[in-house]
Chains A and B, each alone.
Chain A
Amino acid sequence: MQRRSFLSAAAAAAILMQGHAMAAPAVVGQSAPGFTLTDTAGKPVRLADFKGKTVVLEWNNPGCPFVRKHYQGNMQSLQKEAAAQGVVWLAINSTETASGDYLSPAQLARWMQDKQAVPTATLMDEDGVVGKAYGARVTPHMYIVNAQGVLVYAGGIDSIPSSRVDDIPKATPYIRQALGEIKAGKPLSVSTSQAYGCSVKYKS
């Protein structure tokens, strides 16, 4: 009994020294907020399931021209490169059901399939809880969570905020660059950038 009470005092001291700070919404350099969402097939997917792997979060809405700009090939090739590196790719759709842009899980899955998109999972966030936890403002807003569960990148998919496909090859591809640097064990040269696109159609 006495032994236990002494140990718990020691435990309290040790906890004090760890000093975990959790702040919402997500901040680059801090723990990424955990979440569980269902994919377009109705299967639950947890961020925590991918601990130990790099995870890319892509805010998606096929109704947004900026998303369509990148789904003319750029997004798919990023997804393929990520998969080849063992990086998890989660496309998250936070469009509310009342929005004109809303696609049902089946419709969204169909669209992604038509586009030959290959994310690890396409997730439904109609309530916008996860989008707001990450502070996602636009589609496509991009995030990278490292193997330790720390948010290491938040921002745009590349450096030229436009809706023109022609601009993609001219832009600095921030996501490709970041994944390359993570793979090489280097610090990210760009860890935040301007996210550009359409507003996320959040439930008000």
Chain B
Amino acid sequence: MIRFRLPRILFPALILIAGLVHSTLGWAQDSSKTVVTTPQVRAELLAFAPQGVPVGLGEAAAARQPVWVGLQLAHKPEWHTYWKNSGDSGLPTTLEWTLPPGVIAGDIAWPIPKKIPIGSLANYGYEGTVLLPVPLTITPDFKPPLTGNTLDIKLKASWLVCRKECIPEEGEFALQIPLKGSTALNGAAFEAAFKAQPRPALTTQGILPDSVVRIDGNLLRFSVQGLPVELRGKTLDVFPETPEVIETAATPKQAWNGAEWTASIPLAPQRLNSPSLMPVVLASNGQGWRAELKVVGEWPKVAAGPGVSSAPDTALKANAAATAAAPAGGSTSLMLVLLGALLGGLILNLMPCVFPVLAIKVVGFARHADDRRAHRLSGLAYTAGVILSFTALGALLLALRAAGESLGWGFQLQSPGVVAALAALFTLIGLNLAGLFEFGSFLPSSVASLQARHPVLDAFLTGVLAVAVASPCTAPFMGASLGLAVSLPAAQALAVFAITGLGLALPYLAASLVPAVARALPRPGAWMQTFRRLMAFPMFATVVWLVWVLGQQTGIDGAGALLALLVSGAFVVWTLTLNGRARLVFATLSIAGFALLTLGIGQNIVKFADSTPVSGSAERWQPWATGKVDSLLAAGQPVFVDFTAAWCVTCQYNKKTTLANAAVLADFDAKKVHLLRADWTRRDPAITAALSALGRNGVPVYVLYQKGRAPVVLSEILGVDELRSALAAL
């Protein structure tokens, strides 16, 4: 920033002398070239060299003889031109000088601007008359022309002058400044411009705190020190020199804290600049101060997200590439897969299938709220249980695949027997939590005491249980990761499964190791009973889901049989809690009834229904079959395939929302898309093969096929917008 260095006291005298010189000697410049008049503006090139032009002087001596030039813009009423930061629109005035060798023009010493609001926008600029002064440096290289005694100056200026409408204007100017004698006719104009220069705010390193601007969400909080005492309590105008940072039209909320001036101003929604230093001009009553504010904090991201969203088939390519690359042994890609597995495991904690198991853990946690060692032990045991069973399940899957079985992740839920067993287990846990029985009351006392004496074993088994029910939920988040895992060498694949388990166990493990978590829980008491009963309901909800899955696999008879057996089994459990003769009689009867029921209808549970259970099948969906996609494509029809399973919650959610969306269905019809549903609720080697061709090993998978194009794999949580844009691209 350029400041005027001439002692102020000299001005009146100089101006007086200049006036005398002018009136008596006349003016040496060609006035026809110094003024450009348009209907909006009168622009004039002015000079100010009260002590003449320093020719052949050294730097220090030359500095004592300042030479200023400047463009004076006199606006017609309502019209304005712009400051160096023009605000929301407009352009700063630009000056291009043509000067003799050895003469150097400095930057414009911008006087304090005005904020000019225009509706919801605002500009920084000048109305009335303004002079934009520029200092000239006369170096010793400057050689006066042989023919004259003048410094010849040419200027090409362009300014944008606006009222509501804007007019870009230009002017060419020329001026000759006498080398000898004073040029001070326009001293008053220059003095006014110098007075309107912002002065630097006081900075005293180490004594005054730094002036800073803090980024606080979408606000900038200014804190400026070193302003003069007379400003205190006054409302200041704020002019940031950096364009496109703050919302120009906003009114700053400002306050004074003693010597510190503070203000908060919202960031521009489409902020362009993220400076580390923000020079700001603060003004009041025609006087201004300039402070350079250090920026504290992180600028919020401006252009978050993808610059260009990738083509929709990128997911497929990425999958294929990962599958191709990883077996070659790229350690980076394995690390990425492992990281993905860890994240996937963590996310599993939020899934509806895992939630009930987590609820059991929370109850257990509260029970031992004051025993830190027990917490640590049970946390470790739970983790071990999760990791080991995840690995064991993975190993089983790999072994079965190696033996020629076509299986995918979640395969255990494709077996009705497993589903029924899980339903029974969850009923039992639910009844226990609801308070129908305590384990100790009917188990042989040795087993009951085993459980009590071995909370570690208990925790371990909870971990196993968590994995058993969590596995079907893994597919949506880890489709690519687990799909890749089964194609990796066995050791690496098992590592992926183990890491997934670690992710699942991690939150509970961390909670058990940090004493603060246990302390944060309420003290054991009556609330625990209430909480326990509450947790019974997620268990029963899980049972409902499992019964529904079984219904998809074995039909209404299977589901009915399972429900009957669950009720009968619950009755058996209750009779065992009775005492004395009643226990003997009722228990005998109930067990006999249960056995009869099992013999009579039990086979319905494991017998697959005859009809193809394409769940919720409307006419528009047809069952998928090998080769069907190809034959439809050959006929020129686009094909959409929904790889789904009844036990896959995400699949069901997508089916009820996006795939039932009226706009989506209309788009399907408009594009004559053939809809196929591949139901993987039960084992189906053909579907498993089709999934692995897509680089996947679980459901859901949504694929859009079109003749002559790579199939487009859509995301697992299928969005209406995503699907519609994919359809629009057909």
Contacts and interface: CB of A to CB of B under 8 A. Distances in A.
Nearest to B719: A18
A200 B301 CA distance: 26
A148 B725 contact: yes
Given A101-B164, A185-B308, A202 B272 contact: no
B724 interface: yes
Interface centre among B88, B165, B656 (most CB of A within 10 A): B165
Interface stretch (B116-124, B131-139, B142-150): B116-124
Interface stretch (A1-9, A73-81, A104-112): A1-9
Interface stretch (A39-47, A119-127, A132-140): A132-140
Interface residues of B, number: 56
A172 interface: no
A147 B309 contact: yes
B89 A138 contact: yes
A141 to B, nearest CB: 9
A7 B118 CA distance: 53
B599 interface: no
A150 B269 CA distance: 16
B416 to A, nearest CB: 17
A18 B718 CA distance: 10
B164 A149 contact: no
Contacts of A203: 119
Contact of A186 (B118, B308, B725): B308
Interface string B131-171: 00000000000000000000000000010101011111000
Interface stretch (B106-114, B193-201, B250-258, B646-654): B646-654
Contact of A52 (B90, B306, B657, B729): B729
Contact of B656 (A11, A18, A162): A11
A148 B305 CA distance: 12
B545 A200 contact: no
Given A138-B88, A162-B91, A199 B162 contact: yes
B510 interface: no
B520 interface: no
A10 B545 CA distance: 10
Interface string B297-311: 000011111111111
Given A10-B652, A135-B269, A198-B166, A147 B729 contact: yes
B89 A51 contact: no
A160 to B, nearest CB: 11
Contacts of B269: 25-27, 135
B165 A10 contact: no
Contacts of B88: 137-138, 199
A51 B667 CA distance: 12
A2 B307 contact: no
A17 B350 contact: yes
A54 B7 CA distance: 62
Given A14-B653, A199-B90, A3 B548 contact: yes
Contacts of B301: 29
A173 interface: no
B167 A65 contact: yes
B371 interface: no
Given A199-B121, A202-B119, 4 more contacts: A9-B352, A26-B269, A201-B164, A203-B119
Q: Which 9 A-B pairs have the closest CB atoms?
A: A52-B728, A29-B305, A163-B168, A187-B307, A188-B307, A29-B304, A199-B89, A198-B166, A191-B303
12 contacts: A14-B650, A52-B727, A52-B728, A66-B166, A154-B270, A162-B91, A191-B307, A192-B303, A198-B162, A198-B166, A199-B89, A199-B166
